[in-house]
Amino acid sequence: MTARPTTPARARRLAIVRLTSLGDVIHTLPVAAAIKRQEPKSRVIWLAEERERIVLDDNPVVDEVIAVPLRRWREMARRPSGLRQANREFRALRRVLRELKLDAALDVQGWPHKTSPLAWLSRAPLRIGFSRAFARHPLATLFTTERVTPPADARHIVDQNLALLGPLAIRTSDPAEFPLPRFAEAETWAAAWWHAHRLAGCRVVALLPSTRGAAKLWPVASYRALAARFLDHPSTVVLVLGGPGEEQCLTDVIADAAPARAFAVAPGPIPHLVGLLRRVDLAVGNDTGPIHVAAASHVPSLGLFGPTRGDRNGPYGPLGRYVQSPTKNMNDIGVDAVWDAVARMPAKPASELRNSS
């Protein structure tokens, strides 16, 4: 399918439907960035889950975020009163979608039981999604008017997402852009934490041992062995980062390390985690949102992949690398293989070193 030859003179109203998860939302940001670069006056409206909107609110390439709280609705539906409330909220959302008067909706996620009906309910005359071979589920194609087959060289999901801009005649930028909110309060907190722990001048490595889904977890013992190798270098400090509820996993990784050179940190709000991640010199982690946040923040990032494909879902860009399990089992990724990959990682750009100090 060829792109329309001209860009419309008037500002358009364009919706991106990508509800979850954090890493996938990060991988969709270049779509919004490309729209805003070519059509700065067009309005970009993003439909997202409540938890994921944290990287979309106050984002320079997103004009409006509409929360679609499917997780909360599922919880509410367990009791009759909650089911009635969820139904009322859904009807209100449906009205909002119709009142948007969209020119186009991009169903990036392609779930026929989640995102595709939302694009259809918007009544946008142009509803763009992937072709049957690339859609998350083939039934998603029933809800779209334009079905895109990405080019053969678009192996990574970021490049495949950008192909959805073809029917809108939006040019993509090279390199792809991953704008994030500045998170001013969180940046102040992260700078103070960094100073209090005397990390200026150290080489700081972030390990990200947590993720949703047991099949994507590299063993804690392997992370512990990797941390020990980093700490053999006197100038290196290890941060083991995660979220609330993951504290035990984080502390287990550095159980044998000297307290002054290894820290387990589980800041509650995502912006605080972002503030720390953008300061580190290297990030190593599972297939999880924070590894993609690190890559989007111009931090050299090494992803560890088992059941999912690193060439499609790994840290994106010139600073991103991945190690793929030969068996799809995370237990079969050896510490030596990861350490060899670490040795080949690019350095953090000098400009980013200055900005993160």
Burial of 351 (0-12, 13-18, 19+ CB in 10 A): exposed
CATH class name, domain 13-168: alpha beta
- Taking each helix axis from N to C end, the angle separating 270-277 and 184-196, rounded to the nearest 10 degrees, works out to 50
Using one digit for the tens of pLDDT, what is the confidence trace for 166-186?
999 999 988 999 999 989 999
Supply the DSSP symbol for 350.
H
The reported pTM is 0.94
Using one digit for the tens of pLDDT, what is the confidence trace for 109-143?
999 999 999 999 999 999 999 999 999 999 999 99
CA atoms within 13 A on the CB side of 146: 23
Residue 1 has pLDDT above 60, yes or no: no
pLDDT of residue 268: 80
Concatenate the DSSP letters of all residues of 182-231 into one string: --HHHHHHHHHHHHHTT-TTSEEEEEE---SSGGGPPPHHHHHHHHHHHH
SS3 349: coil
Two structure tokens written together for 218? 């590299």
Supply the DSSP symbol for 235.
T
Residues near 320 by Cβ (< 8 Å), separated by ≥ 6? 295, 300, 301, 302, 303, 314
Q: Where are the domains of the chain?
A: 13-168, 184-356
Using one digit for the tens of pLDDT, what is the confidence trace for 236-251?
999 999 999 999 999 9
Q: What angle do CA 27, 163, 319 make, to 5 degrees?
A: 40
Q: Residue range 328-343: average pLDDT?
A: 98
Q: In what order do the strands lie in the sheet with 146-148?
A: 64-67, 43-48, 13-17, 104-107, 126-130, 146-148
Topology match between the domains 13-168 and 184-356? yes
State in Å, rounded, how far the first CA of the chain is from the last one.
Answer: 47
Q: Which of 333, 301, 338 is nearest to 316 (CA)?
A: 301
Residues 263/227, Cβ–Cβ less than 8 Å: no
Q: Which of 332, 340, 272, 266 is nearest to 302 (CA)?
A: 340
Beta strands in 306-345 (DSSP E): 320-324
User: For 184-356, CATH number?
Assistant: 3.40.50.2000
**Residue, of 259 and 223, whose pLDDT is higher:** 223
